[in-house]
Chains A and B, each alone.
Chain A
Amino acid sequence: MPIDFKTTLRTAELACLNLKSGLSPEEAPAALARLTKELTDIINYFNILNEINTSEVEPLYSPLLEVAGLRPDEPERRANPEELLSQAPNRLGSFFVVPKII
Chain B
Amino acid sequence: MNEIYKLTLTEVVEKLKSRQISATEMISAALARIEVTEPNLKACLTILGDQALSAARKLDQDGPDPTRPLWGVPVTVKDVFCTKGIRTTAASRYLENYIPAYDAQVVIKLRQAGAVIVAKTNLDEFAMGSSTEFSAFGPTRNPWNLTKVPGGSSGGAAASVVAFQTPGALGTDTGGSIRQPATLCGCVGLKPTYGRVSRYGIVAYGSSLDQAGPLARRVRDCASLLSVIAGYDDRDATSSLHQTDDYTTAQPVTLRGFKLGLPQELWNIKLDPDIEDALKNALKILEETGVELRSVNLPHLKYSVAAYYILATAEASTNLARYDGVRYGHRSNNPQDLTELYMASRSEALGPEVRRRILLGTFALSAGYYDTYYKKAAQVRRLIRDDYYQALTDCDLLITPVSSLLAWDFGSFIQDPLTLYQLDLMTLPVNLAGLPALALPVTLGKTSGLPVGLQLIGRPFDEINIISAGLALEELFPPLR
Contact = CB atoms under 8 A, between A and B. Distances in A.
Q: How large is the interface on B (under 10, 10 to 19, 20 to 34, 35 or more residues)?
A: 35 or more
A28 interface: no
Contacts of A99: 335-338, 340-341
A15 B348 contact: no
A68 B356 contact: no
A57 interface: yes
B199 to A, nearest CB: 11
Which secondary structure dominates chain B's binding surface? helix
A69 B232 contact: yes
Given A42-B309, A52-B303, A63 B385 contact: yes
Interface residues of A, number: 57
A77 to B, nearest CB: 12
A94 interface: no
A69 B421 contact: no
B351 to A, nearest CB: 11
B343 A16 contact: yes
Given A16-B346, A18-B344, A45 B379 contact: no
Given A79-B101, A88-B326, A64 B238 contact: yes
Contacts of B340: 99
Nearest to A12: B359
A57 to B, nearest CB: 4
A50 B421 CA distance: 19
Contact of B195 (A43, A64, A83, A101): A64
A89 B331 contact: yes
A58 interface: yes
A51 B300 CA distance: 11
Interface of B: 98-99, 101-102, 194-195, 208, 232, 234-235, 237-242, 300, 302-303, 305-307, 309-310, 317, 321, 324-331, 335-344, 346-348, 350, 355-356, 358-360, 362-364, 366, 373, 375-383, 385, 417-418, 421, 432-435, 460
14 contacts: A42-B309, A42-B421, A46-B364, A48-B306, A54-B383, A57-B380, A60-B379, A62-B434, A70-B234, A78-B102, A79-B101, A87-B327, A88-B326, A89-B328
The 5 closest A-B pairs by CB, nearest first: A63-B434, A59-B378, A21-B347, A89-B331, A87-B328
